[in-house]
Structure 1
């Protein structure tokens, strides 16, 4: 068995090549290491039985391999999961639901798998922020948002491992007074929420604030979704806490945030997916795109872990991909183009 300091190792046995590949991709996305992947004959001939923390077994016909199960059970005390569902086509909504079911089974045997940023990692951002250069000026074609004005356009910032650093860089590269509000859905230990709020708002025009019931999102806000309970919007667009936890394994559920806000804002609701493990957001992102909203992702090489933005990109709904700095510039350019278009559509006041 793997030591407590190591990531769990998984053995995969399947006589279906495509199923093996998709199980490998999924387990890698959850940060697990593969110590064996092959068909039953390969495992039976293996000189030293692999030291896996968990075995995943999926066969086209179990009757074709009568000795396999005795061989596995004689050589390991690790949990063995049999009869896994066949993986659907990669990039489809069904595929990401299949991944979620697989994750649930893995965590039942191995415990919590998603890596989260530590308090020390978040605090380190305070040191790095001292080196942050000044934010750009607001382009002349963008009218500055009136103080405390209600946001007409919302951008959801979804992230997990590595997200705080990426989101801070993104916010630090935005000019003040943009006519937009942000909702920040970050997988994080609830004990670190205050640290995150303090550090990310230290040198940015956009201050983090925790969601409050009855509050309407304003331009310049970065509203942090709480971990413990699901939040939605009432008919007037005010934040509202529900008396139930977020669905799914982690809070806040980024998929649910997209659905809850998208229902109210429709094509005025957009999303950017930053660094993170897993595939949270990949199910709802295509639906947000269907509403008419924009979906962007952080490019892989600038992520601490690119599984989350890569999963969203695999659905084909991402309209832009870039570093946090490039995402900030693209947002400013997008708002500027929209303002220019509106100014040309307005009748001449003369």
Structure 2
């Protein structure tokens, strides 16, 4: 996904260097920067045509200026104009609050990076339409083939996006994307910071980096591993998805060894979501479907082809009900 083009507005060269480094740390880029001079009579600087064109193409502003009453007219006036006229998000911060405390500065930097990561998702939402329905495809041993069969049988236009959690080593994620490239119209992608879960896509969950789904269908990718025994953790992913998407979330448990995902099946049901499993007799390894069935939370059991047909009917019925309510 294309990096965000950010504009920086600061009142010192030190702040410009610090914020530029933080932007680079999050994988984004600084496309324009303005360091205000000392207090002066003319607060609004003269901008060349090239500056105005670059500003018009920015995705967001990151602003760090110190407000000193009657002390920095330039900062106050430029900031007022920016807030009144900017057509893109403006993220305000004030590093002067933390002084020379190294620990406090590190915490401030961490918080600002987190805010930038969420800003990426907000800006990407203006570029992409999010999928209202987000389903988790959960699998382990023997899972790729039935997942492929399920996706091949789906038509486009269901307004659904999938998170595919497969117990697999990271180096094989590329193979899953290649497999999905031959699986009909559903495009396989790797999770990126701030990425939007779009309709007709399958996001391959990275086993080495924990991800979090936000309520607006964007992703936060953490530079840390999944906790627990399994990589990725289906239970953690599923609990997160159910908590934010509620009745617009579902899970299909395919062939796999172990019981990962079973604990969160009850959580999905508590949030009015759907729990489906592959028919155990059609699995290479039936441990995961059987563990889900043991929770008494399963709504439907079927072969990959039956699951696909049921999914189409379910989405059409759900969308019909929503349309009737809205009309």
Q: Secondary structure at the match of 1:178?
A: coil
CA shift at 1:267, angstroms? 1.8
Provide the C-alpha distance between the structure 1 equivalents of 2:181 and 2:217, rounded to a whole number of angstroms.
Answer: 24
Q: 1:161 aligns with which of 132, 137, 141?
A: 141
Report the equivalent of 2:299. Answer: 319
Q: 2:285 aligns with which of 285, 305, 323?
A: 305
The TM-score, its normalising length taken from structure 1, stands at: 0.55
1:151 and 1:217 in contact (8 A); partners too: yes
Report the equivalent of 1:261. Answer: 241
Provide the C-alpha distance between the structure 2 equivalents of 1:266 and 1:223, rounded to a whole number of angstroms.
Answer: 19
Report the equivalent of 1:211. Answer: 191
Greater share of helix: 2
The TM-score, its normalising length taken from structure 2, stands at: 0.59
Deviations 1:1-50 (A, max 9, x none): xxxxxxxxxxxxxxxxxxxxxxxxxxxxxxxxxxxxxxxxxxxxxxxxxx
Q: Secondary structure at the match of 1:334?
A: helix
Report the equivalent of 1:339. Answer: 319
Residues 235 and 322 (structure 1), Cα distance of their counterparts in 2 relative to 1, 3 Å cut: closer
CA shift at 1:238, angstroms? 1.9
Provide the C-alpha distance between the structure 1 equivalents of 2:214 and 2:274, rounded to a whole number of angstroms.
Answer: 23
Provide the C-alpha distance between the structure 2 equivalents of 1:148 and 1:216, rounded to a whole number of angstroms.
Answer: 7
Residues 332 and 237 (structure 1), Cα distance of their counterparts in 2 relative to 1, 3 Å cut: closer
CA shift at 1:346, angstroms? 4.3
1:270 and 1:288 in contact (8 A); partners too: yes
Question: CA RMSD, aligned part only?
Answer: 1.6
Q: 1:278 aligns with which of 258, 268, 273?
A: 258
Report the equivalent of 2:95. Answer: none
CA shift at 1:341, angstroms? 2.4
Equivalent runs, 1:222-237 vs 2, <5 Å: 222-234=202-214, 236-237=216-217
Provide the C-alpha distance between the structure 2 equivalents of 1:311 and 1:258, rounded to a whole number of angstroms.
Answer: 15
2:292 and 2:298 in contact (8 A); partners too: yes
CA shift at 1:329, angstroms? 0.3
Provide the C-alpha distance between the structure 2 equivalents of 1:340 and 1:267, rounded to a whole number of angstroms.
Answer: 15
Deviations 1:122-163 (A, max 9, x none): xxxxxxxxxxxxxxxxxxxxxxxxx95211111100000111
TM superposition outliers: structure 1 runs of 4+ over 4 Å: none
Provide the C-alpha distance between the structure 1 equivalents of 2:321 and 2:243, rounded to a whole number of angstroms.
Answer: 26
Report the equivalent of 2:161. Answer: 181
2:128 and 2:196 in contact (8 A); partners too: no
**Which residues of structure 2 form unaligned runs of 5+?**
1-126
Provide the C-alpha distance between the structure 1 equivalents of 2:313 and 2:282, rounded to a whole number of angstroms.
Answer: 21
CA shift at 1:201, angstroms? 1.9
1:148 and 1:219 in contact (8 A); partners too: no
CA shift at 1:345, angstroms? 3.4
Deviations 1:296-337 (A, max 9, x none): 000011100010011001100000000000000000011121
**Which residues of structure 1 form unaligned runs of 5+?**
1-146
